[in-house]
Amino acid sequence: MLEIIKHGLETTVQELPGRIGYWEQGFPPSGPADAWSFRLANLLAGNPRDTAALEWQFIGPTLRFHRDGVIALTGAETAARLDDKSVPMWQTIPVRAGQVLACSPAKTGARGYVAISGGLATANVLGSRATFHMAGLGGLGAGALKAGQQVPLGESGATHKLMRVVDSARPPIAPAASAGTIDNRIAAMLGPNDTWLDDDSIMMFFDSEWTVSTQSNRTGLRMSGPQFTFSAQAYAKPAEHGSEPSNILDHGYPVGGISIAGQTPIIFIHDSPSAGGFFVPFTVPRFDLWRLGQARPHEKLRFRRTSMAQANEGRRRLDKLCSLQSLIEIDTVDA
């Protein structure tokens, strides 16, 4: 068992690939918002990379372990302590039964991961342990975990290698000040509804800085920035599309889709609604979704135009980074 002493801010059980097959009925895929960090945490803890682990947001949890094993911390930067000793991130950490791990609030990034050897063995709901908190699906039956709860663990091997993630294989979670610089631009592809914007607005989108709003969560990121102008298609449409230029007849929403609600861009992430009535001119491809999961309110984001070929290449490169090849064995844990 893993005991939740403090639950932090919306700490959830997540798993990959998420809840697949029920989107038609409105159940989102869920799963970790930063799958890159999530997978590395599992590999460090000796698990298959898609095993159920904890995701926390902004404020990390305090946990007590009730059996010996190993854990790993990845994702948003936190100053974590195991009992009285500070422990490093991106490394395998041995823990003994009775020890307490306390995570500090995130210094950079938005979401942190705690993987534990054997993984979390909560009940499957519709084929997945991933949590959809807003509807109370997953976890221990009510979405996010609560202080005092005991989370069941899966079977774990008796011995564990101590490993570290090589620096080049870690997601470059930027300090807020450097977000939005050339290296940190978020990939975005045109489509499905880019023809609803005029050409100037498409250029404007990629040339502008966008500020993440505080009204952002695991369903989506709201952003503020310059105003959009629309093509004739946004005006010359049947009345049932709705009265705003940004309204379109209800259609399915892709994960990573950037919709325009009036003048507010909303990027859909892992717990997003499956459908709605705003058009979606751009979509963030899979390999850069982790950047959305690590974006903090007030942070400035910029986007770079990306082709299908670049998206495919980026996804394959990331897939290779999420493997044991990114880990090196170490002798001792050093903080």
Cα 296 to Cα 114, 246, 273: the distances in Å are 19, 26, 21
Asked whether 75 and 113 are in contact (CB, 8 A), the reply is yes
Closest approach of other proteins to the CB of residue 6, in Å: 26
CA distance 288 to 185: 9
Closest approach of other proteins to the CB of residue 253, in Å: 7
Surface-to-core class of residue 32, CB atoms within 10 Å of its CB (0-12 exposed, 13-18 middle, 19+ buried): buried
Closest approach of other proteins to the CB of residue 129, in Å: 14
Determine if 157 is a binding residue for other proteins (CB under 8 A). no
Residues 277-296 that bind other proteins (CB under 8 A): 277, 280, 283-287
The one-letter code for the residue type at 17 is P
Beta-bridge mates of residue 266? 222, 259
Q: Site for other proteins (CB under 8 A): how many residues?
A: 51
Query: Which range touches other proteins (CB under 8 A), out of 2-10, 36-44, 112-120, 255-263?
Result: 255-263
If the CB atoms of residues 17 and 98 are measured against other proteins, the closer one turns out to be 17
Binding other proteins (rule: CB under 8 A), the pick from 240, 329, 331, 334 is 240
Binding other proteins (rule: CB under 8 A), the pick from 94, 237, 297, 305 is 237
Residues 96-125 that bind other proteins (CB under 8 A): 125
Residues 55-94 that bind other proteins (CB under 8 A): none
Binding other proteins (rule: CB under 8 A), the pick from 253, 278, 290, 303 is 253
User: For other proteins, what does the binding mask look like between residues 257 and 276, x meaning CB under 8 A?
Assistant: x---------------xxxx
If the CB atoms of residues 182 and 309 are measured against other proteins, the closer one turns out to be 309
Buried b (16+ CB within 10 A) or exposed e, 293-325: bbbbeebbbbbeebeeeebeebeeebeebbeee
Q: Which region holds residue 2: left if phi is over 0, alpha if psi is between -120 and 50, else beta? A: beta
If the CB atoms of residues 71 and 137 are measured against other proteins, the closer one turns out to be 137
Q: How many residues does the chain have?
A: 335
Binding other proteins (rule: CB under 8 A), the pick from 168, 214, 243, 332 is 243
The one-letter code for the residue type at 13 is V
Other Cβ atoms less than 10 A from the Cβ of 207: the count is 10
If the CB atoms of residues 65 and 132 are measured against other proteins, the closer one turns out to be 132
Written as six digits, the tokens of 258 are 């950037």
Q: Locate tokens 């309204």: which residue?
A: 247
Asked whether 103 and 133 are in contact (CB, 8 A), the reply is no
Residues 306-325 that bind other proteins (CB under 8 A): 308, 311-312, 315-316, 319
Using CB under 8 A as the criterion, which residues of the chain lie in contact with other proteins when the complex forms?
A: 20-27, 125-126, 135-137, 141, 189, 191-193, 237-238, 240-244, 249-257, 273-277, 280, 283-287, 308, 311-312, 315-316, 319
